[in-house]
Chain A
Amino acid sequence: MSVVGKRVQRPESITRVKGGGLFADDSKYHGMLHAAVIRSPVARGIIQCINTESIIKKKGIEGVFTCKDIPGKNVIPVVIDDQPLLAERYVNYVGEPIAVVVAKDRETARTVAKNAKLKIKELPAILDILEARNHPDIHIFGDDNIFKHLKIRRGNPSSAFKKCDIILENIYRTPYQEHAYIEPHSVTAIPYPDGTIEVRGCMQCPFYVREAVTKSLNLPESKVRVIQSATGGAFGGKEDVPSLIACQAALPAMKLGKPVKLTYDRTEDMIAMSKRHPSWTYYKSGVTRDGILRAVEVEYIIDGGAYSTLSAVVLFRGTVHAVGPYRCPNVKVDSYAVATNKVPCGAFRGFGSPQVLFAAESQMDELANRLDMDPVEIRRRNLLRVGDETITGQKLKNSVGLEKSLDKVIQVSGWTPGGCKQDGVGYGFSTIFYGVGLGAGGKHMARTGARVIVHADGSVSFSVGTTELGQGMITVLSQIVADEIGVPLECVDMIPTDTSRVPDSGPTVASRATTMSGNALKDACTKIRNTLRSEASEMLGCSLDEIDFDNGLVSNKGDSIPLIEVIKSCSFKRLSLSAEGWHTSPPTTFDDKTGTGDVYVTYAWATNLAKVKVDRETGEINILKIWSAHDVGKAINPTLAEGQIEGGVLQGLGYAVMEDMKSDSRGAIINPEFSTYIIPTAQDQPEIVPLIVEEPYPDGPFGAKGFGEQPLMGIAPAVANAVFDAVRVRIRELPVTPEKVWQGLRNK
């Protein structure tokens, strides 16, 4: 009996509900010390003096470490090596790490770090992206403060606009979004007498952490072992930044020869950790009278903060997704990741696409409105189908379930164009897509390893290089292994992700774990199964191709024997039932000059419909219901797929209507806590209807493709469109707050 496609329970949830899931801060080690970080209080300045001698004299302090103590390179490697582990001469944002203090207990370390006296000469800072780009005097990065400029050139937009009947030009803005994983960052570094450093912590990308630790401590990769602890939510927020935190713990651990734990408190986490890039988008689109999208021109600028981190690749995804899931023959996109004196932004579910999709999908709705066409009809006339080309000229060969997702939402919601409705109630659509995997922006990392061992007692353990973050990877991969070996699911266990078990498998990002590790596991399982098959054919006295594996039994046409007997027999004969699997992505391309190429191996597709009621007096937006349909190729576990949709929708809803992180005129974040950075509670959750569409992706395990980020991506425009439908107020700057709606109503 196959378990792929079944709603099986998560194996690890049993320990979690008993409070037994060991998260990074839950473990203690013999002789363990605690670290805390001394940070810059200013947005830009020159460090004149760090008085380490007075700090080290304080009671309970075991050490204080600055950039001078780093034996290797003072750099956190991500894309471009511009970010130091600890600031040297300059600081470039409020919260930038300057030194690490280590004490016997956490409170002492934190108190001393907080009160450390620094002499920093403050310099004028630039906080606004439009000001920062090509700033004549202040240079945070290069000589123009541009981390990356990307472009797409397709057809001839300027002449195409002349033939359009309706052209709309607008500016859209989006703010920071904080990941707000409930577990703050935590890591422990443990030194061993042979010089090995073991790092345990919450993280998405153990191989990133290993690279950072080896470079900064000047160690070979064989001497650094990184093990992921249970991780309490990530959403991109534990992609690149754990590298920084791990080094902040590993440096003192190596120097002092003792385990060092570093756990951030919530406020520190919110001030100093990465966020979704704020953005500014100029959007011009033109249609002919019949609603056909003829030309789009976009200028998209994201605020990278003080160091480049992942901004270039975040920008890449935003650029490729700039027009939404539509055919458009004439496109010009210019996008920029710009440096400012603020906290570096990084990965966050959707990775640069939610910002630009907010603009694209709001724009689509406005075009429909101007054409007096319903929002579904305009989408139907333009959406991508098999055989169409994306704006990068990628021809879609298969697995395009966009229209199916639209049909499913309409069917389930019962939405009809211009259907009767109450005053103040409105409906808003968004149709979106998501390039699965790293794509051409990160293709050098598009490989994964796996190891599977079938033990003599019939239990199976496997290792992969990707990580469980709450999304359900352990379950989905266990289902795949169970089916591939032919054992019951209860016999399969995943070993916590550990860099010493499998080769570098790249990061757990870009919704890639199911497809990449799934394929690598299939590769390993196939090797083991070949051994089992040949042994079984001997035992059953039949040919190899007659053998069938199912539900713990191995059979040919008439006879069957328990799989465990075959396993025992292999063990007796000393045959190996352990194998390594490897998977590399099909090739992807992107031409920097023209912006053309087969950018992603495949795409996921989605339609969202939001129903809202707007209070005309207070501007309050009551979200009544959200339907969200996603083409996932194949849902290996429908319960988990729904969980991704429900969670992503609510996170998207927070982005749409309430989440708003702000910094003051000196670049300090003014609301770094949960009482002022507002995310949805159980009472703010509307009814969410998750819908699954399956257009199989032939190169994915069982037809599956990644989609975990997609549920967040299209919610903000769907809500903004619904608000417009309800009260004819168009909000082009997130979040859509009661205050903005009220002002819009008043100005009408």
Chain B
Amino acid sequence: MKLDFVLNNKRVSINVKGGLRLIDLLREQLDLVGTKEGCGKGECGACTVLLDGKPVCSCLILASQVRNREVTTIEGLSIEGEMHPAQEAFTETGAVQCGFCSPGLLLSTVALLNENPEPSREQIRRALSGNLCRCTGYEKIFEAVELASRRINGLSVQNDKV
């Protein structure tokens, strides 16, 4: 079947088997391998993408379910090579260890900051609780979200640890 949707701000019209999972469409057919498969059951969040701006697990969505909707993957976060403030913050605070969960965490972060530019620590925890990370203990991820939030809101940023 023919599938029309918006992928990373570009219109896409593509022939797919409608029952393909969104993650397979992205990784296998469109070669967007930044979206990772950690469990295939919606339990780890590594495959998180944004559907109309909201985080969802791309392993639990069928390609036909994104018809005429907007999908954002990690590849769509940088605009003309310029990283999103959340991406910059993740690299600066040490929020990336192995990096396998990072794309999913970043998309959850961006969705949170779009909705709530100044989230509290509790709101951050809640917003990221669907993304398992086994390396970092989450601490530096929370710091990254807070740093990105301050940057987005134009607040002065002190990184006293440098």
Contact = CB atoms under 8 A, between A and B. Distances in A.
A673 interface: yes
Interface in A121-150: none
A9 interface: yes
Interface string B110-133: 000000000000001110111111
Interface string A2-34: 000001011011101111111101100000000
Contact of B78 (A18, A21, A649): A18
B74 A472 contact: no
Q: Is the interface of B mostly helix, strand, loop or mixed?
A: loop
A35 B27 CA distance: 18
Interface in B68-114: 73-75, 77-78, 83, 87, 90-94, 96-103, 106
B147 interface: no
Contacts, number: 173
B14 interface: no
A60 to B, nearest CB: 15
Interface in A640-664: 640, 642-643, 645-651
Given A182-B46, A266-B41, A10 B94 contact: yes
A433 to B, nearest CB: 21
B41 A647 contact: no
Nearest to A18: B78
Contacts of A496: none
B87 A647 contact: no
B12 interface: no
Interface residues of A, number: 56
B139 A688 contact: yes
A233 B126 contact: no
Interface string A543-582: 0000000000000000000000000000000000000000
A638 B160 CA distance: 13
B46 A20 contact: no
Contact of B90 (A17, A230, A471, A679): A17
A184 B128 contact: no
B35 interface: yes
A17 B96 contact: yes
Contacts of B35: 19
Nearest to B99: A16
A25 B130 CA distance: 22
B125 A685 contact: yes
Contacts of B75: 18-19
Interface of A: 7, 9-10, 12-14, 16-23, 25-26, 179-184, 230-235, 265-266, 469-472, 638-640, 642-643, 645-651, 673-675, 679, 681-683, 685, 688, 690
Going nearest first, the 6 A-B pairs with the smallest beta carbon separation are: A19-B34, A470-B98, A232-B100, A16-B99, A19-B74, A646-B137
20 contacts: A7-B94, A9-B94, A13-B99, A19-B35, A23-B33, A23-B36, A23-B100, A182-B36, A232-B100, A233-B134, A265-B40, A266-B38, A472-B97, A647-B134, A647-B135, A651-B134, A673-B41, A679-B132, A682-B128, A682-B131
Given A233-B100, A647-B135, 12 more contacts: A7-B161, A17-B103, A25-B37, A181-B98, A232-B100, A233-B97, A642-B94, A674-B44, A679-B134, A682-B125, A682-B141, A683-B125
